[in-house]
């Protein structure tokens, strides 16, 4: 089937619906949702039952770049500075030196075992050298996976920040193959230029986003996500115009924005979370349509060997070398090595040599696609098992959903937090007015057996209650927890 203007919306909506409905089964089957999206695209493609002919790497690349921009921005918005600050240097080391070490070791291995030249091997290594933000965010932020210590923020920081390095290596090595006689030495100043301009642009434009969102005072609330969208594209576009790394700029600007208060913050974060999911689905569907499984069959043997070397040698070697001088247990390094998920981004990067007409680019694309499938299927499905084997798995505490929401403006300093009444609490059976809470704090709602109670001073506390508390002072939470655990009556007058 050939895509036309008349049937594009119908086919697109059907594929989206199938992907979303199929993703509901992934939790029970232990299969990452991303592999379902890829599978739907492949089944709908030329070699599948859908028979849709899609052979446009330029369009796939454009969709991939737009989708990655949304995914990085959404991931940055939800990245808390307090959680990534302790692991900042580990994350930066993994996202730069780790990517380089992975690309180099894998490149040498590929050139040794196959008919690829060293430069071609390094290109494949560069394309699959970064962990995929979409894959890592979706799997780690699922309801089934919790990790001890600072492992989750470290993995999310690495996956969100290492795409710029992989992009630079892919573009640089592709230019070496296209323009014969170009030296590797010319890539060094290009690297520093892209990263420095990208970092500066990301910081400055992130600050500009905060100022504009809080000061512009639009007449219609629905325009704020549109304004943010324009700022995202402007950040990417202006950074690349000045030869900086647009992906890095977008991710940094999102981190800066997400760690400040701005108008309609919750609704904007939710909007871009939905957009990121839609972009993930669209990107994986398009890439699934782009691949021809029959053409991939001859490369399964080579792809399997490369994928196994990447998962069991190249990635662990890079992680252990990068984290050698950081205080960390070996089992934590092993888990970080295993969460080296490859996703749609390497497939998008594989379209660059395809478009530039690099020799053996179709072979490279099919091998990269097989590596991604292997990584998502093997690593993505076994992360909880490996985390348990390494004693780094912890139960996930589900966040209570309350039937109210507060949008915090820039001048709104109050904070909401939840405290659960456990069986050893001395507050059980006491009325609220009897508890010695700080004067700056107030119980605004009680969740009791999934029913919501508007509290008064005479409301009696029972075991299992979840108190939603508003406070003017962040330090009040520790004091309130002590009051609830070690009940003390309010002195009578």
> What pLDDT, in 10s, does the model give residues 180-207?
766 777 778 888 899 999 999 999 999 9
- Give the per-residue SS3 of 432-489: HHHECCCCCEEEEEEEECCEEECCCCCCECCCCCEEEEEECCCCHHHHHHHHHHCCCE
Residue with tokens 């089964």: 25
Alpha carbon distances (Å) from 265 to 280, 369, 406, 447, 461: 22, 37, 10, 24, 32
The Cα angle at residue 171 between residues 122 and 199, in degrees rounded to 5: 115
Asked if residue 291 belongs to a domain, the reply is yes
Asked if residue 137 belongs to a domain, the reply is yes
Per-residue pLDDT, 410: 43
Is residue 247 a contact partner of residue 206, using CB atoms and an 8 Å limit? no
Residue 437: domain span: 415-485
Per-residue pLDDT, 466: 86
372 shares a domain with 424:
no
- Give which of 365, 320, 333 is closest to 128, Cα–Cα: 365
Alpha carbon distance 319, 91 (integer Å): 10
CATH value at residue 159: 1.20.1530.20
Stretches where the chain sits below pLDDT 50 are: 29-30, 408-412, 487-493
150 shares a domain with 253:
yes
Asked if residue 407 belongs to a domain, the reply is no
474 shares a domain with 328:
no
327 shares a domain with 442:
no
How many CB atoms within 10 Å of residue 47? Answer: 14
Asked if residue 491 belongs to a domain, the reply is no
> What is the count of structural domains for the chain?
2
Per-residue pLDDT, 493: 38
Per-residue pLDDT, 331: 93
**For the chain, percent helix, then strand, then coil, each to nearest 5?**
65, 5, 30
Asked if residue 406 belongs to a domain, the reply is no
283 shares a domain with 143:
yes
The sign of the CA dihedral 374, 377, 379, 382 is negative
221 shares a domain with 168:
yes
Per-residue pLDDT, 488: 43
296 shares a domain with 424:
no
473 shares a domain with 357:
no
Asked if residue 396 belongs to a domain, the reply is no
472 shares a domain with 335:
no
The sign of the CA dihedral 288, 152, 470, 492 is positive
Torsion, CA 239, CA 243, CA 249, CA 251, rounded to 10: 120
Alpha carbon distance 439, 358 (integer Å): 69
Domain boundary among 374, 389, 404: 389
CATH value at residue 471: 3.30.70.1450
- Give which of 373, 372, 369, 377 is closest to 292, Cα–Cα: 369
Read out DSSP for 193-214? HHHHHHHHHHHHHHHHHHHHHH
What tokens does 448 get? 């009791």
Q: What is the pTM of this model?
A: 0.77
Asked if residue 394 belongs to a domain, the reply is no
Asked if residue 409 belongs to a domain, the reply is no
Per-residue pLDDT, 404: 58
């Amino acid at each position: 089937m050939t895509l036309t203007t008349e049937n594009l919306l119908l086919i697109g909506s059907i594929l989206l619906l199938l992907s979303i409905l199929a993703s509901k089964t992934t939790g029970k089957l232990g299969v990452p949702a991303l592999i379902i999206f890829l599978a739907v695209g492949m089944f709908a493609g030329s070699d599948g039952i859908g028979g849709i002919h899609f052979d446009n790497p330029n369009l796939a690349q454009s969709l991939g770049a737009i989708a990655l921009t949304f995914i990085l921005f959404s991931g940055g918005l939800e990245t808390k500075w307090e959680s990534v600050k302790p692991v900042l240097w580990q994350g930066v080391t993994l996202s730069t030196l780790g990517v380089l070490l992975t690309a180099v070791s894998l490149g040498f291995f590929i050139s040794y075992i196959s008919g690829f030249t060293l430069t071609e091997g390094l290109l494949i290594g560069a394309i699959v050298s970064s962990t995929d933000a979409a894959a890592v965010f979706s799997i780690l932020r699922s309801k089934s996976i919790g990790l001890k210590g600072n492992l989750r923020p470290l993995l999310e920081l690495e996956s969100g920040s290492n795409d710029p390095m992989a992009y630079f290596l892919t573009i640089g090595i592709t230019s070496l193959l296209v323009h014969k006689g170009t030296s590797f030495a010319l890539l060094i100043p290009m690297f520093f230029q892209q990263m420095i301009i990208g970092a500066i642009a990301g910081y400055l434009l992130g600050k500009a986003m905060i100022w504009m969102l809080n000061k512009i005072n639009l007449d219609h609330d629905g325009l704020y996500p549109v304004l943010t969208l324009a700022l995202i594209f402007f950040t990417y576009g202006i950074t690349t115009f000045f030869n900086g790394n647009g992906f890095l700029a977008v991710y940094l600007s999102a981190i800066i924005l997400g760690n400040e208060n701005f108008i309609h913050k919750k609704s904007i974060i939710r909007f871009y979370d939905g957009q990121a999911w839609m972009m993930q689905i669209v990107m994986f569907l398009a890439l699934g349509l782009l691949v021809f499984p029959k053409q991939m069959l001859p490369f399964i043997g080579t792809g399997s060997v490369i994928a196994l070397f990447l998962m069991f040698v190249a990635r662990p070697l890079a992680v252990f070398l990068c984290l050698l001088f950081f205080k960390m247990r070996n089992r934590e390094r092993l888990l970080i090595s295993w969460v080296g998920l490859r996703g749609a981004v390497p497939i998008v990067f594989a379209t660059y040599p395809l478009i530039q007409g690099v020799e053996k680019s179709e072979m490279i694309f099919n091998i990269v696609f097989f590596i991604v499938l292997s990584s998502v299927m093997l690593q993505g499905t076994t992360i909880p098992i490996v985390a348990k084997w390494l004693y780094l798995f912890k139960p996930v505490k589900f966040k209570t959903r309350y039937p109210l929401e507060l949008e915090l403006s820039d001048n709104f300093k109050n904070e909401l937090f939840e405290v659960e009444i456990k069986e050893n609490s001395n507050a059980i059976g006491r009325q609220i007015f009897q508890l010695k809470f700080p004067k700056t704090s107030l119980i605004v709602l009680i969740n009791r057996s999934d029913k919501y109670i508007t509290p008064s001073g005479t409301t009696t506390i029972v075991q299992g209650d979840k108190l939603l508390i508003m406070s003017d002072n962040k330090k009040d939470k520790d004091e309130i927890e002590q009051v609830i655990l070690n009940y003390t009556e309010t002195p009578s007058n």
